[in-house]
Structure 1
């Protein structure tokens, strides 16, 4: 019955011939909120161009910017696989055909939600092509499935902020319960992506299955303090709260010069500093764009002096999420 109700939302006369969508990169965990917090940034991000086809089915025309690393098989690529999943849910798999061009503007394996940006762009694009029959919250479970396909773990700390924009809290998964949090006006991120390889699966395997109760209590207090700080736009409370005693001590081992970069960030006025997602990207949270820029510049200079190339990005929190271009 629910599927039939959804089916009635589709007006075939209003289906678009093509659409182009941008979806943003994200900083998962937000330092102290492992697997439950994340925020979207303005840049980088990925684009999807989607074209209606006379032949039913989902096909990938091309992928740019991936150095040939992503599959063109529509059943193995997370973008096309999730689009197929949505069309099947709407019972449109025999009526609608689409062709996809994926343009990667962000590096794979960066810790900035590369797979989630592509998946969100694809699902946002097919929804727009169909006349937006689903709202963003209804698209979110499909995005989570995309993460499961990409890395074997269906988490939402990247896809939720990429899709909904802003800062999101994943309260639970059964059922999926996502809450948007306030974004203080002057909250910025200085992000540096060192050119070292830290596979997500390897980073996750380092995490301890059990933690000390005293460390768990410290982490709970930090998460609660951070959320309170966001609601109050209290930058001092945000700074005091954004400390990770559970995940960072283990994952930092995989990132060369991590603690030296952290010292540079804190010495130059950052509110906090930590790992973006599973790394190797690192993020300085700051009050204001100028500090974020200074910190990112100085960290990049330090990495160059130590023979490590890197990319850098400075951004406010992106409250819009994906958009049609």
Structure 2
């Protein structure tokens, strides 16, 4: 194999109370990436979208991951990649993770699957560090593995795939940008012990809810007393969206990653569509352009897709 085309899914990180340790993969939106193996140690990047991301590998999330893969593979090969981003950067839907994880998996496929899952996550985290300044894996692991994942530790790497309940996910993406690095800077560096204890209970309850397929427990546990109260001030309409969606029957939800997107989990597609209508109505009234997805949890992660090759300069 000297070329491959993959689909890299968007993700929801944190899942309200699980800051930097919980995440799930979405069936929509996703990026498309096409890779070709080169016989020289270089990275060539083409963009097939309007986001004008850097094509210098040193400044591109996928580029730094591919450079690291070249070094890890011995330094005698290279990669050409064409990226069609459908996950808007700064959306809170794992745009940088899709690029980073997609690059790691694409490179690995062309190298005969020589890297382990832990090595793929470690490679992809290099891209996340470029994007946000921090090597976090809560978007990376569900993007690669699919489903819902718990990152018990990254030093050493300890990834725990969780059971995935049959739920619908509604996401509203207000067309404003919240940079991950900026959203981290406003967080408190110290928390009260009583808040930490409450947060631990919610995280444990959410994980138990997923493993037991206990929708009521999932709903009760979708509460954040540490991160969300601070970050939500960056997102117009957040409190109204959350309250009205829960009143309409959603199990709960909150900020997707660092925002500005907001996600809600629902037991049925009918409730998920009602939630979508509420989101649209609120942001239309506020006067903020927005996009709404009604989707499900992606259990496959990054995957090879069939189709015509359209690699630039191929």
Confirm or deny that 1:63 pairs with 2:47. Answer: yes
Pairwise CA distance, 1:55: 3.7
Distance 2:27 2:304 in 1: 14
2:70 alignment counterpart: 87
**Paired position in structure 1 for 2:16:** 31
Find the aligned partners of 1:118 and 1:174 in 2 and give their Cα distance.
23
C-alpha distance in structure 2 between counterparts of 1:209 and 1:86, whole Å: 34
Root-mean-square deviation (CA, aligned residues, Å) is: 1.2
Instruction: Encode CA deviations 1:149-178: one digit per residue, 9 max, x unaligned.
Output: 111100001101101111111111221211
Structure 1 residue 128: Cα displacement: 1.1
Match of 1:315 in 2: 295
Matching of residue 278 in structure 1 with residue 262 in structure 2: no
Give the equivalent residue in structure 1 for 2:311.
none
CA displacement at 1:217 relative to structure 2: 0.6
Deviation at 1:54, TM superposition (A): 4.2
Does 1:173 pair with 2:154?
A: yes
Task: Quote the Cα distance in structure 2 between the aligned partners of 1:87 and 1:172.
Answer: 26
- Aligned residue number for residue 231 of structure 1: 211
Q: Provide Cα deviations, 1:274-313, integer angstroms capped at 9, x if missing partner.
A: 1000000001111122211220222112211221110111
For the Cα contact (< 8 Å) 2:92–2:256, is it kept in 1?
yes
Residue pair 1:47, 1:118 contacting (<8 A) in 2 also = no
Name the residue aligned to 1:73.
56
* Aligned 8 A contact 2:7 2:33 in 1: yes
Structure 1 runs (4+) deviating above 4 angstroms are none
Alignment of 1:112-261 (within 5 A): 112-184=93-165, 186-261=166-241
Is 1:106 aligned to residue 68 of structure 2?
Answer: no
What secondary structure is seen at the aligned counterpart in 1 of 2:99? Answer: helix
User: Residue 309 of structure 2 aligns with which residue?
Assistant: none
**8 Å CA contact 2:64, 2:126 repeated in 1:** no
1:66 CA drift (Å)? 4.1
Q: Could you tell me how far 1:137 is from its partner in structure 2?
A: 2.9
State TM-score, norm by structure 1: 0.91
Corresponding position of 1:4: none
Three-state SS of the structure 2 residue aligned to 1:75 is helix
Query: Structure 1: any 5+ residue segments left out of the alignment?
Result: 1-15
Choose 200-209 or 101-110, whichever is displaced more. Answer: 200-209
Q: What CA distance in whole angstroms lies between the structure 2 residues aligned with 1:273 and 1:97?
A: 42
* Cα distance in 1, alignment partners of residues 144 and 215 from structure 2: 26
Question: TM-score, with normalisation over the residues of structure 2?
Answer: 0.94
CA distance in 2, matches of 1:228, 1:67: 39
CA distance in 1, matches of 2:274, 2:63: 39
Q: Is the 8 A contact 1:289 1:316 kept in 2?
A: no
The alpha-carbon distance between structure 1 residues 192 and 231, as it changes in their structure 2 partners (threshold 3 A), is: same
* Structure 1 residue 314 displacement after superposition: 1.5
